[in-house]
Structures are given as structure tokens and as C-alpha cells.
Amino acid sequence: MKNDRLGKFAGVLARQGILVAFILFMIGFSLWNARFISVENVFGVVRSSAILGVMALGVTFVVIGGNLDLSVGSLMSFSAIVVLDLHENPAFGPALAIPAMFAMTMAIGALNGFLVGYLRLNSLIVTLGMLSAIHGLTLTYSGGQNMDIANQEATWFGIFGRGTALGIPIPVLIFAGLAAVLAILLAKTPFGRKVYAVGGNEVAATFSGIPRARVVFFTYLISSFCVATAGLIQASRTMGAQNTVGQGLELEVLAAVILGGASLLGGSGTVFKTVIGVLILGFIQNGLLLAGLEFYVQFVVTWIIIILAVWLDIAAKRGRLWSPIA
């Protein structure tokens, strides 16, 4: 009986190692500082993590499909600049600026999907090159100028980044709602199973009749939709944006996805664990801030905690702390 219980516990730990790491981390920081677990602080962290989280949801599909998307940071800058510029254009206004921005952002995502999916180019090279190209496109579009909304009191645009519903910040609701929809899409639909199949074994998936190119194309389309959503939240929250507002976020997004258990080799990962990865990064930064550590010390401690969390997850899956071939 005791062995059966231990076996069940080990099985749960193997499946949810990153969740266990998150719980232990939360308990540790809560004991360190009581403010850490307060409702106000928790909502504040989730709200500040929503932009990174929304982007990470889309990249989860790309990574599970066996590819990378390093263009999301620059693309978020582009989407924020575009929606703000069109908002100030009398011919558009917020009602037309938002769908126009989504269309432009997803068109770039579709180009990524076409190059990687149909032309079978290396995703790292394509999206790394696209990172620079989109940055140049953003500077060209804006003329090198930052964008701001002149009359912030006269627009409803701020609701996406500043509003609340039933006491819950709108960015949190957007993040949670999008995560729920994409989790169902990935786990409960034929498309989701095809994404796992293509990422797990591209050759076998092709011989099984799965349209590999189409699946990869749509993973990048989903990623660009999430980036556009993140750009909308960012622009709405600050009512302005710099040309480089998303610079460097691609690495944080990828870190959150991998921290959540998705494999860079493709074929594994879940939306739920990506959300946990995002929250771990957000609460690490918040916990270290409450601890009063200097920002340069936070970088080192954050790295250590991430390594420990990933190590716990991997150790739980293989049933031992060290590699059996070490």
C-alpha cells in the first residue's frame, strides 16, 4: 500500500514537476515577505506579466510544432506603434485602428509561416532575420518617432490595458481567457494533435497524411495573433510606445515557454505549463524586488531559480536528481 502511494506521488510529481516547483517557490517567498502573497500584489504581478504571457501562449504552439519564433519582440513593437498611429488618424480612430493593426501584424506572421512551413526554411534563421527586418519596418513606419495618444481622456482605448471588470484587471482577463481558448485548441482538437505530431516526428506525420506545411503556417499565425493582442495591451496601458518597447522580449518569452516544460525539439508542452512558466518569471522578479535586491543581483538570482526549477522538473520526470549516464 505504501509503495503504491509513493508510486502515485512520483507519477504526479513527474507530470507536474514545474507546478510543484512553482508552489515551493511561492511558499518560500511568502515566508520571506508576507506582502508577497497579498491579493493586491498577486494581481499586480499577473497584470504586469500579461503582455509576456499572451505572447508566450502563441510561441508555445510554434515550439511544440518544432520551430522557433524570435521575431515576437520586434513584432510587438510594430503592433503597438501601428495601433497608436492609426488611433490618432482621423480616418481610423480606435474602432478601425485595432482590426487594422491585427491584420498587419498577422500578415507578417503569415509570412513567417509561409517561409518556414511551405518553403521549409530554418525557423531560427527566418525569425532572427525577421526580427531585424520588423525593427527596420517599425522605424520606417514611425519615422523614428515614438507614438502617443494626444487626448487620453477622450478615448475608450485605455480599457484594454487600464480597465477592470468585477475588480479584476482587464489584461488579466484577456490573458486568462486567451489561455483557456488556446489550451482547448491545443489539447482537445484535431489541429492540436497535428501540432504535437508534426513537432514530435515530422516525417512520420507527413506519411500519416498530416499537412505539415499548413500546420506550421497556422502555428505562426496563432503566434502573430497573440503578439497583436500583447501590442494592444501594451499600447492601451501606457497610451504611448517607444519604437523598441518589445526589444528583448523574445528571449523572455522563449524562457517562459521552455521553463513551462516545452521541448526545443518539439512535440511536448502545454498551455497550462506555459502559464506557470510565465508566472514563475513574474513572481521571481517581484519577490526579489520586495527583498530589496539590486537589479544586477536580481539577474543572477533569477537565473539560479530558473535553473533549479527546470532541474526539479527534469529530475521528477526521470526519477533521479542526476542523469543516469553521468
Give a yes or no: residue 13 inside a domain: no
CA distance 266 to 62: 9
Amino acid letter, residue 305: I
- Residue 73: give its domain's CATH number: 1.10.3470
Instruction: Give, for 241, the enclosing helix (H) or strand (E).
Output: strand 240-241
- Cα 190 to Cα 153, 228, 236: the distances in Å are 46, 25, 35
**Number of domains making up the chain:** 1
Residue 54 in domain: yes
Digit-by-digit pLDDT tens for the chain (326 residues) are 555 555 554 555 555 666 777 777 778 777 777 777 787 888 888 898 999 999 999 999 999 999 999 999 999 999 999 999 999 999 999 999 999 999 999 999 999 999 999 999 999 999 999 999 999 999 999 988 888 898 888 899 999 999 999 888 999 999 999 999 999 999 999 999 999 999 999 999 989 999 999 999 999 999 999 999 999 999 999 898 888 899 888 988 988 898 888 888 888 889 998 998 898 888 888 887 877 777 777 778 767 766 766 676 566 556 666 666 55
- Return the pLDDT at 8: 54
Quick check: 19 and 262 in contact, CB under 8 A?
no
- Residue 102 CA neighbour count, 13 Å, CB half: 12
Residue 211: the pLDDT is 95
Q: Please report which residue ranges of the chain form alpha helices under DSSP H.
A: 2-15, 17-32, 39-64, 72-88, 93-113, 123-142, 159-162, 170-188, 190-200, 202-207, 212-238, 249-259, 271-290, 295-318
| pLDDT given for residue 7 in this prediction | 52
C-alpha cell of 230? 500583447
Confidence at residue 57, expressed as pLDDT on a 0 to 100 scale: 97
- Residue 169 CA to residue 39 CA, distance in Å, equals 12
State whether residue 136 is helix, strand or coil: helix
* 1 occurs within a structural domain: no
Expressed in angstroms, the distance from the first to the final Cα of the chain is 33
Beta bridge partners of 147: 241
Q: Which residues of 14-50 are buried (b: 16+ CB within 10 A; e: fewer)?
A: eebbbbbbbeebbeebeeebeebeeeebbeebbbbbb
Asked if residue 90 is part of any domain, the answer here is yes
8 within a domain of the structure (yes/no): no
Locate cell 479584476: which residue?
168
Do the Cβ atoms of 148 and 240 come closer than 8 Å? yes
Report the amino acid identity of residue 291: A
In this prediction, residue 261 carries a pLDDT of 80
Amino acid 4: pLDDT: 55
- 107 belongs to a structural domain: yes
User: Where in the sequence is the domain holding 110, given as residue range(s)?
Assistant: 26-149+165-316
Residue 324 has phi, psi (to 5 degrees) of: -65, -15
> Is there a domain that residue 215 lies in?
yes
DSSP conformation letters of 139-160:
HHHHTT--EE-S-GGG-STTHH
How far is residue 96's CA from residue 83's CA, in Å, rounded to a whole number? 9
Cβ distance 84 to 241 under 8 Å? yes
CA distance 228 to 231: 5
Q: How far, CA to CA in Å, does 240 sit from each of 79, 95, 129, 307?
A: 12, 17, 27, 35
Tell me, yes or no, whether 14 lies in a domain. no
pLDDT of residue 289: 80
- Ordered DSSP codes for 23-56: HHHHHHHHHH-GGGGSHHHHHHHHHHHHHHHHHH
Q: Tell the burial category of 268 from Cβ atoms under 10 Å away from its Cβ (0-12, 13-18, 19+).
A: middle
